[in-house]
């Protein structure tokens, strides 16, 4: 069994206690090769701005909320009471959000298949009142690897694919061939559908449905040994699913079965405009204990 030959619950070669999944493929050699590929130093920011205008999928998600917890006036007044005379005013906010609003990465414990999470861990034992005891986002290592852009936005002749449009494995393979890239173990595959143009500009349209991959394309990518799959839409996978009896089957395959992370709500327009197909990708998930995902700021460097 190779490192990217997945069984029902990940790859047996990584062990019964493994919580990294396909991140095991992020070896020092893989990181070094990605860093050595940088030629110009140009940085592409692949994240949207986090704000109250970010779309969210109710009822499982709540909106991004921010309020000022302490202002410069409050802090100066408090410090004067303690005898401080230099009037240092500090502004501190309080933020409330789910970890799945805005550009974010899913932890492997985010989605189950029945009562099983990645590596066959029991969901009932793993999910506690204080978050995940295993497979939380703090288990995800710093990710420095090669990213490849699979641009399928123009397949149907327009600036983007339509909601409910399934991207097939054959179309992903042709996009890779057209870009002159071969997907390798440890790569991040980023899929541009063009749907990201509606993030924060027409949230109702963005949330009503989206183009994306279904299970066959997800299986094709995980068989190539990718560490993560990202897209410029809300859920990576096509919405609604062609089978009305299924919800989040791509999440089940990627996270629970293959141990492959998912990154959603990416901003890929600048990469596509510059026809950048391969790049050094840096993704550093914050270490929030037990969280099922985390906001993230991926950057591509060429």
Q: Judge if pTM exceeds 0.85.
A: yes
pLDDT for 8:
74
134 in helix, strand or coil? coil
Residues of the chain with pLDDT under 50: 1-3
pLDDT for 68:
94
pLDDT for 258:
97
pLDDT for 167:
98
CB atoms near residue 164 (< 10 Å)? 15
The length of the chain is 302
Backbone angles phi and psi of 282, in degrees to 5: -120, 120
Greatest Cα pair distance, the chain, in angstroms, is: 70
pLDDT for 1:
35
Q: Tokens standing for 42?
A: 């140009």
Q: Where in the chain is the domain with CATH 3.50.30.50?
A: 12-51+103-301
CATH of domain 12-51+103-301: 3.50.30.50
pLDDT for 249:
98
Q: Which of 170, 194, 222 is nearest to 25 (CA)?
A: 222
Nearest-angstrom CA–CA distance, 86 and 101:
39
Nearest-angstrom CA–CA distance, 29 and 145:
10
pLDDT for 12:
72
* Axis crossing angle, helix 169-179 with helix 215-223, rounded to the nearest 10: 50
């Amino acid at each position: 069994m190779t490192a990217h030959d997945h069984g029902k619950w990940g790859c047996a070669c990584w062990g019964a206690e493994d919580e990294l999944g396909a991140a095991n493929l992020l070896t020092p050699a893989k990181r070094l090769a990605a860093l050595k590929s940088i030629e110009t130093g140009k940085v592409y920011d692949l994240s949207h701005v986090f704000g109250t205008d970010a779309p969210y999928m109710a009822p499982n998600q709540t909106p991004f909320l921010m309020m000022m917890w302490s202002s410069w006036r409050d802090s100066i007044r408090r410090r004067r009471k303690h005898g401080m005379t230099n009037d240092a005013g500090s502004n501190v906010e309080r933020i409330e959000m789910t970890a799945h609003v805005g550009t974010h990465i899913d932890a492997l414990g985010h989605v189950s298949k029945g009562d099983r999470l990645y590596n066959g861990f029991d969901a009932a034992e793993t999910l506690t009142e204080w978050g995940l005891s295993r497979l939380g986002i703090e288990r995800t290592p710093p990710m420095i690897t090669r990213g490849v852009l699979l641009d399928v936005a123009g397949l149907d002749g327009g600036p983007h694919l339509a909601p409910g449009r399934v991207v097939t494995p054959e179309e992903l393979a042709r996009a890779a061939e057209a870009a002159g890239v071969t997907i390798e173990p440890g790569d991040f595959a980023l899929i541009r559908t063009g749907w990201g143009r509606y993030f924060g500009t027409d949230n109702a349209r963005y949330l009503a449905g989206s183009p994306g991959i279904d299970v066959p394309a997800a299986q094709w990518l995980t068989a190539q040994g990718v560490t993560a799959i990202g897209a410029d839409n809300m859920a990576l996978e096509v919405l609604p699913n062609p089978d009305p009896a299924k919800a989040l089957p791509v999440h089940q395959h990627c996270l629970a079965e293959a141990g492959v992370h998912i990154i959603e709500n990416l901003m890929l327009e600048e990469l596509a405009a510059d026809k950048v197909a391969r790049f050094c990708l840096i993704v550093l998930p914050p270490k929030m204990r037990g969280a099922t995902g985390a906001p993230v700021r991926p950057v591509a460097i060429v």
